């Protein structure tokens, strides 16, 4: 086949970068209330007193990460005017960190120069915490605010969320050396609900909820982005509204809405149509939906991957729907093969709950009649099982369970 010529000419996009997830908008629309709550929670810091610990929760794509980054930038700009504070915001994305130990070790390295990094395995746990406290004590900053994004990855192993928020109180890091504050961010409501009471008390001094966007909010966000992204007048005026409506129905995620608009433009470009129309949006939707589900599956914590694997194994034996105990037994077999830490039945029941909330599994509650109690039965939902299989077979470590991939 004769290949098309590569040319920079583009009749649809002025600057498609603006529609990518990596693009940082310079303001966050439709989030005034949440951002002022957020700023209020940081008030003690700018006053030079002890920070409050903050927990940010809300579904995926609702501006938690980008909002945090904008707040941090604003704070850094404003704090230059004052001599009494010197605040260091330390951002860590915990996506790939499956326990408190790894989070602590990665934090230690955030304070160290390139050539003095520690290995992130192998130390006794106490020693890692002590190393972290030492870094916090010795820093020249008045405050260190540690931002732990996607913190749900650590699952039940939430010790760090107990240790860090109280390190000023127990004098591990005396407040006169450094004030320490923690901002935890999560899109997993089950994780928040299952935090132990002791963690909840200290971490969630301020809880800020980012709700999903509605169709109109999404349409306004898209219209704003479209101004710089598209060539003038190529977008049918109803397109942002339709993307907003579809994304609003789907989940209220701005990421999803932006992906939809981007994909619609992309289709128009590759088909050589002069304008982006509703038809492009409708055809873009199934593609974007599938991508989103795949991405969410890929991003699940490893214990959730193993739990899904167990459900898949039961599906292959025609044993679905299944009770959590049956799934747990299948999980144990798989977990013993690929990871060292096999979790308790309770943890896996929580993972099943989280998977159900995210729509990867369905749950029905059965009553066994008088005095028989109730039990829950899990099954796959509407998502294609072949996709789940494909993602698991290409996930680090879990892939070992698919010898004939």
Ligand X SMILES: Nc1ncnc2c1ncn2[C@@H]1O[C@H](COP(=O)(O)OP(=O)(O)OP(=O)(O)O)[C@@H](O)[C@H]1O
- Contact residues for ligand X, defined by CB under 6 A: 21, 25, 28-31, 58, 60-66, 187, 221, 254-255, 258
Find where tokens 């938690």 sit. Answer: 64
Helices in 300-403 by DSSP H: which ranges?
302-316, 324-338, 345-357, 385-393
CA 91 to mean position of chain CA atoms:
14
Q: What mask, x for binding Mg ion by CB under 5 A, covers residues 13 to 52?
A: ----------------------------------------
**C-beta of 252: minimal distance to Mg ion in Å?**
15
Q: What's the closest the beta carbon of residue 149 comes to Mg ion, in angstroms?
A: 6
Which one of ligand X, Mg ion, none is in contact with 21 (Cβ closer than 5 to 8 A by kind)?
ligand X
The option from ligand X, Mg ion, none interacting with 221 (CB < 5 to 8 A, set by class) reads ligand X
Q: Which does 62 bind (CB under 5 to 8 A by kind): ligand X, Mg ion, none?
A: ligand X
Q: How many residues does the chain have?
A: 405
Q: Nearest approach, Cβ of 285 to ligand X (angstroms)? A: 17
Cβ neighbours for 173, distance < 8 A, ≥ 6 positions apart: 133, 136, 137, 167, 180
d(CA 307, CA 314): 11
Residue 60 binding target from ligand X, Mg ion, none, CB below 5 to 8 Å by type = ligand X
Contacts of 30 (CB under 8 A, 6+ apart): 213, 217, 220, 221
Shortest distance in whole angstroms from residue 182 CB to Mg ion: 16
Q: Which residues contact 280 (CB under 8 A, 6 or more apart)?
A: 239, 264, 265, 267, 268, 273
Spatial contact of 78 and 45, defined as CB atoms under 8 Å apart? no
Beta carbon nearer to ligand X, 31 or 52: 31
Which CB atom, from 14 or from 30, has the smaller least distance to ligand X?
30
Which of 56/310 has CB closer to Mg ion?
Answer: 56
- Please report how close the Cβ of residue 152 comes to ligand X at its closest, in angstroms: 9
Nearer to ligand X, 70 or 276 (CB): 70
Q: Taking CB within 5 to 8 Å according to partner kind, which of Mg ion, ligand X, none is near residue 260?
A: none
Q: Residues within the annotated binding site?
A: 62-66, 213, 225
User: Which partner in ligand X, Mg ion, none is near 30 (CB below 5 to 8 A by kind)?
Assistant: ligand X
Q: Partners of 182 in the beta sheet?
A: 146
Does position 178 interact with Mg ion (CB under 5 A)? The reply is no
13 vs 378, beta carbon nearer ligand X? 13
Cβ atoms within 10 Å of 180's Cβ, excluding its own: 27
Residues of each annotated binding site for ATP: 62-66, 213, 225
44 binds, among ligand X, Mg ion, none (CB under 5 to 8 A by kind): none
What is the per-residue DSSP string for 15-38?
Answer: -GGGGSTT---SS-TT-HHHHHHH
CA-CA distance, 136 to 74, in Å (whole number)? 23
Q: Minimum distance between the CB of residue 288 and ligand X, rounded to whole angstroms? A: 13
402, two tokens: 């698919």
DSSP labels, 156-223: T--HHHHHGGGTTTTTSS-TTT-EEEEEEEES-HHHHHHS-HHHHHHHTSEEEE-PPP-HHHHHHHHH
The residue within the footprint of Mg ion, chosen from 34, 59, 65, 302 (CB under 5 A), is 65
- Rounded-to-integer distance, Cα 164 and Cα 217, Å: 36
Single out the segment in contact with Mg ion by CB under 5 A; choices: 58-66, 160-168, 200-208, 284-292.
58-66
Q: Toward ligand X, which CB reaches closer, 131 or 218?
A: 218
Closer to ligand X at the Cβ: 243 or 334? Answer: 243
- Shortest Cβ 308–ligand X spacing (Å): 19
Distances (CA, A) of 212 to 159, 222, 248, 250: 30, 15, 8, 10
Q: Specify the residue, 62 or 90, whose C-beta has the smaller distance to ligand X.
A: 62
**From ligand X, Mg ion, none, interface partner of 29 (C-beta below 5 to 8 A by class):** ligand X
Tokens 């127990």 correspond to what residue?
170
Cβ of residue 256: shortest distance to ligand X, in angstroms? 9
The residues binding Mg ion (CB under 5 A) are 65
């Amino acid at each position: 086949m004769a290949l098309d010529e590569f040319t920079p000419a583009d009749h649809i996009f002025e600057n498609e970068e603006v529609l990518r997830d990596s693009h940082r908008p310079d303001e966050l629309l439709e989030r005034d209330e949440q951002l002022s709550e957020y700023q209020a929670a940081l008030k003690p810091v700018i006053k030079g007193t002890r920070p409050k610990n903050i927990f940010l929760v809300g579904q995926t794509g609702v501006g938690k990460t980008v909002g945090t980054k904008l707040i941090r930038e604003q704070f850094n700009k404003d704090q230059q005017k004052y001599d009494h504070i010197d605040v260091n915001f330390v951002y860590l994305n915990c996506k790939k960190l499956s326990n408190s130990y790894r989070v602590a070790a990665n934090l230690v390295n955030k304070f160290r120069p390139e050539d003095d990094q520690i290995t992130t395995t192998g130390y006794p746990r106490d020693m890692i915490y002590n190393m972290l406290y030492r870094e916090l004590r010795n820093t020249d900053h008045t405050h260190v605010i540690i931002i732990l994004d996607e913190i749900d990855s650590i699952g039940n192993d939430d010790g760090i969320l107990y240790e860090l928020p109280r390190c000023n109180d127990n004098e591990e890091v005396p407040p006169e050396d450094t004030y320490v504050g923690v901002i935890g961010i999560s899109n997993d409501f089950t994780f928040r609900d299952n935090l132990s009471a002791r963690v909840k008390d200290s971490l969630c001094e301020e809880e800020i909820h980012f709700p999903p966007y509605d169709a109109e909010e999404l349409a306004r966000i898209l219209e704003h982005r479209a101004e710089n992204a598209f060539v003038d007048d190529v977008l049918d005026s109803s397109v942002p509204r339709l993307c907003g409506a579809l994304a609003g129905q789907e989940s209220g995620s701005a990421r999803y809405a932006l992906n939809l608009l981007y994909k619609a433009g992309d289709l128009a470009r590759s088909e050589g149509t002069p304008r982006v129309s509703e038809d492009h949006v409708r055809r873009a939707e199934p593609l974007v939906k599938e991508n989103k589900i795949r991405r969410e599956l890929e991003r699940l914590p490893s214990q959730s991957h193993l739990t899904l694997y167990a459900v898949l194994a039961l599906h292959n034996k025609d044993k679905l729907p299944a009770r959590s105990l049956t799934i747990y037994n299948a999980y144990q077999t798989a977990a013993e093969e690929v990871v060292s830490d096999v979790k308790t039945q309770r943890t896996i029941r929580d993972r099943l709950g989280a998977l159900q909330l995210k729509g990867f599994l369905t749950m029905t509650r059965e009553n066994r009649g008088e005095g028989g109690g109730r039990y829950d039965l899990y099954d796959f939902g509407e998502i294609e099982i072949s996709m789940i299989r494909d993602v698991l077979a290409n996930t680090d470590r879990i892939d070992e369970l698919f010898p004939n991939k």
